Amino acid sequence: MFDIFSILPINNKLAVFESYRGESFSGNPKYIQKELSRRDSSFKCVAFVRNPELYNDLNDEVLYIKRLSIKYIYYLSRAKYVVNNVNYPDFLKKREGTYHVQTMHGTPLKLMGADLIDNPEYTYKQNLLGLFSRSKRWDLLVSPNSYTTKIFKRVFRYEGEVLECGYPRNDILVNSAKSNSQRLEIRNKLGLDNDKKVILFAPTWRESSSPSDIRESLNLDFEKLHQLLSKDSVIILRLHHLVSSNLDVSRYKGFIYDFSDYPDSQELLVASDMLISDYSSIMFDYLNYRKPVVLYLHDYDSYLKDRGVYFDIRTSGIGRVSYTFDELVDNLASHDFEFDTRQSVVTEFCHAESGVASSTVVARMLEN
């Protein structure tokens, strides 16, 4: 089908975008699309998602198309600009005259790509040969810092152009750290009290076999948190949908807000005063906001023992570390919302972030 549609000419005013294999339209592709549409409204921007009906009421400049449908293949075959933060299916053949942008979706902590080549389990899971083949389609790889650039070039065996300009999705954090207006706007949209501190809990996804295992993987006592924090703080949750769907926090209305289905996690970061996370790359994004990070590593040994990491976050200086719920409570009991990440860490991971990454990427796209 792709080959048939490829008989048709490339549309130089068509740009297609995909995030997380269509799970949502978010992250770097979304912010690139917004900047492209702002700069040139004559572009037709198409976002590929699994459930386009969820976007019908947005009334924005994007056409939402169901991923892997016939229309998906049609637009993918015709687009001049092709943007993704994971990868498109292998049936996609790069047409001459098209420009492919790979934005990725985080700063790496866990080993990935070619660095897993000696691990038979992950070599099988990731289909490394296929990954190396797909990376040859990329014309531009976007990177947030030099640490990430070195890893990406090696693990994807990528030899093309790298634009080390920061992540487009982090522009909102860099700019909101300098001005409070967008923060207040987002809080009002979310219905959050501006007089209270907002603590965002955003752990990485853990595969579990049962709903009870999923709930227990959070290792949180919401009742104790309510007693400790509810007077002057609220908690907002950003969880995998399988976790949130098995979690009932209705009894804590007004204290715990479940925004797991909210389409833009960057806006949740902007709304918050503190991030609690673990192994998720969201912690690197949050450093751009210059607000405190708490790393809740209650399952560090079991979670990372098979995969391996590039550095030890326990001693990295990224944030305060808690290994048990009681230690987490002690960290929160101080009500200390001062940014305390080591400056060397901020420099290493945020040196390329200037608040104009979206504009920089779009400018590079339009040069081709």
| Residue 299: closest CA among 199, 201, 204 | 204
Cite the beta strand spans of the chain per DSSP E. 11-18, 44-49, 62-66, 79-84, 99-102, 140-143, 161-164, 197-201, 233-237, 256-258, 274-277, 293-296, 320-322
Q: Is the pLDDT of residue 224 over 90?
A: yes
Helices within 249-297 (DSSP H only): 265-271, 282-286
- To the question of pTM greater than 0.85 for the whole model, the response is yes
Give the angle 213-218-220 at the CA atoms, nearest 5°. Answer: 120
Q: Residue 275 — very low, low, confident or very high, per pLDDT cuts 50/70/90?
A: very high
Task: Mark 135-169 as b/e (b = at least 16 C-beta within 10 Å).
Answer: bebbbbbbbbbebbbebbbebbebeeebbbbbbbb
Instruction: Write out pLDDT tens, residues 157-203.
Output: 999 999 999 999 999 999 999 888 999 999 999 999 999 999 999 99
Q: Is the pLDDT of residue 333 over 90?
A: no
Strand partners, 321: 295
Instruction: Write out pLDDT tens, residues 59-105.
Output: 688 999 999 999 999 999 999 999 999 999 889 999 999 999 999 99
Q: Residue 129 — very low, low, confident or very high, per pLDDT cuts 50/70/90?
A: confident
Here the tokens at position 183 are: 């923060």
Q: Is the pLDDT of residue 127 over 90?
A: no
Q: Does domain 172-351 have CATH number 3.40.309.10?
A: no
Only one residue has tokens 């990725």, namely 104
Q: What residue spans define the domains of the chain?
A: 1-170+354-367, 172-351
Segment 259-272 mean pLDDT: 94
Only one residue has tokens 């001459």, namely 96
Q: Cα separation of 25 and 286, whole Å?
A: 20
Rounded to a whole number of angstroms, the CA Rg of the chain reads: 21
The CATH number, out of the four listed (3.10.150.10, 3.40.50.970, 3.40.50.11540, 3.40.50.11820), of the domain defined by the range 1-170+354-367:
3.40.50.11820
Q: Cα separation of 137 and 93, whole Å?
A: 8
Here the tokens at position 17 are: 């975008």
